């Protein structure tokens, strides 16, 4: 599109020829401001629990009518720190709706969109890749953080380790502004391990290969003197978990209190918080607060971290087989009932035939 000094707008077809994503003006261009319609993708929610539905929404800037929308999964290209675009199932003709629902999202993945209109179709460029993040365990790929906690001091070095069914990995990070960076911006990638050399910053980290993505970890880098010690991965419901409070030095912290969603938790054990049998109601933002000395007036407070709880895998697995099992049992019972009814009618029929035969024999005498 082009707008001139009088505010008049004109598409490429007034200036030359649009071929794919390129406008060739054939020396017919004139002064003005040129731009290309730009698609913007948003995902909601951006952080999910396994099995959630996710809505992708695509808008075109500046807004205009007549667009169809096309939806893509982002496939990592490790050698170029970029992504290719794989059209989602059923999306070859696009949709008139500007939203697309992903059902049963189970793992971290990137998505993009673009818009098109006209015949033949003229497409916009692809949107920026946006990620749906999940802390859920992916059996094919996993991220391990060492030291094994979500919060770290700014002077610490981290190791982010990728494991799974791929021979080559990269560690990615997205910050609260949505900016993405690979391990090479944070430290050094050696094999499947990213060592940050104390250059890590707060954000969500995950591993990706050209075929797999791992669980994501929301890591906080704290410049203060105290951090909360909490697990990186979701805690299985029914299991126990212990939260701690750690000073930058190795000294003890006194009068330690724990808070969930900014509310003080009554805790008879000083220095740590034990939840003996975790339930979904224990999910929330936790932080700790303590003092450097028993009589000290200055309190030190950690940042918050989210404690995630997942259902037991055994329960999830058994629920998968429960419905077929019940259906099988009911079908078996019905089959037995039908067989008994058939035998009963068969016996009655046989008895009736025998009775008629006897009667006929007596009459013949």
- Give tens-digit pLDDT for 194-245: 998 777 889 999 999 999 999 999 999 988 899 999 999 889 999 999 999 9
> Residue 353: in which H helix or E strand, if any?
helix 313-364
Q: Which pTM was predicted? A: 0.74
pLDDT at 111: 96
Q: Annotate 113-129 with three-state secondary structure.
A: EEEEECCCCEECCCCCC
Contacts 24+ apart (CB under 8 A), 297-303: 300/224, 300/225, 300/226, 300/247, 300/253, 301/224, 301/226, 302/151, 302/222, 302/224, 302/226, 302/227, 302/228, 302/245, 303/151, 303/220, 303/222, 303/224, 303/227, 303/228
What are the CA-CA distances from residue 70 to residues 12, 20, 199, 214 (Å)?
Answer: 22, 15, 38, 26
pLDDT at 322: 39
Quote the distance between the C-alpha of residue 286 and its chain's center.
22
pLDDT at 298: 85
Q: Provide the token pair at 30.
A: 């004139």
User: Does residue 273 have a pLDDT over 80?
Assistant: yes
Query: pLDDT higher for 47 or 89?
Result: 47
Q: Provide the token pair at 227.
A: 């951090």
φ, ψ of residue 123 in degrees (nearest 5): -100, 150
């Amino acid at each position: 599109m082009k707008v001139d000094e009088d505010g008049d707008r004109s598409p490429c077809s007034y200036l030359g020829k649009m071929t794919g994503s390129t406008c060739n003006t054939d020396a017919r261009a004139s002064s003005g401001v040129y731009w290309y319609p730009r698609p913007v993708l948003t995902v909601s929610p951006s952080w999910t629990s396994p099995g959630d539905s996710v809505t992708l929404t695509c808008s075109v800037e500046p807004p205009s009518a007549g667009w169809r929308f096309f939806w893509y999964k982002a496939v990592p290209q490790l050698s170029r720190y970029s992504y290719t675009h794989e059209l989602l199932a059923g999306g070859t003709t696009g949709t008139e709706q500007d939203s697309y629902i992903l059902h049963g999202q189970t793992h971290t993945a990137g998505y993009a969109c673009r818009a098109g209109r006209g015949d033949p179709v003229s497409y916009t460029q692809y949107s920026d890749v946006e990620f749906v993040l999940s802390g859920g365990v992916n059996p094919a790929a996993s991220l391990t953080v060492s030291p094994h906690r979500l919060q770290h001091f700014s002077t610490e070095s981290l190791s982010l380790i990728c494991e799974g069914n791929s021979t080559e990995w990269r560690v990615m990070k997205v910050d609260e502004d949505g900016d993405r960076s690979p391990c090479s911006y944070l430290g050094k990638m050696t094999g499947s391990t990213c060592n940050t050399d104390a250059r890590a910053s707060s954000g969500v980290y995950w591993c990706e290969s050209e075929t797999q993505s791992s669980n994501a970890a929301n890591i906080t880098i704290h410049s203060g003197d105290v951090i909360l010690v909490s697990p990186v991965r979701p805690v299985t419901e029914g299991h126990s978990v212990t939260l701690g409070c750690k000073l930058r030095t190795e000294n003890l912290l006194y009068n330690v209190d724990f808070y969930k969603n900014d509310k003080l938790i009554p805790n008879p054990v000083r220095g740590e918080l034990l939840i003996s049998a975790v339930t979904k109601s224990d999910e929330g933002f936790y932080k700790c607060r303590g003092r450097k000395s028993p009589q000290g007036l200055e309190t030190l407070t950690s940042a918050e971290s989210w404690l995630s709880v997942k259902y037991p895998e055994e329960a999830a697995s058994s629920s998968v087989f429960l419905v077929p099992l019940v259906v099988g049992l009911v079908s078996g019972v019905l089959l037995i009932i039908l067989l008994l009814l058939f035998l009963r009618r068969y016996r009655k029929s046989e008895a009736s035939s025998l009775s008629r035969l006897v009667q006929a024999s007596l009459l013949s005498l």
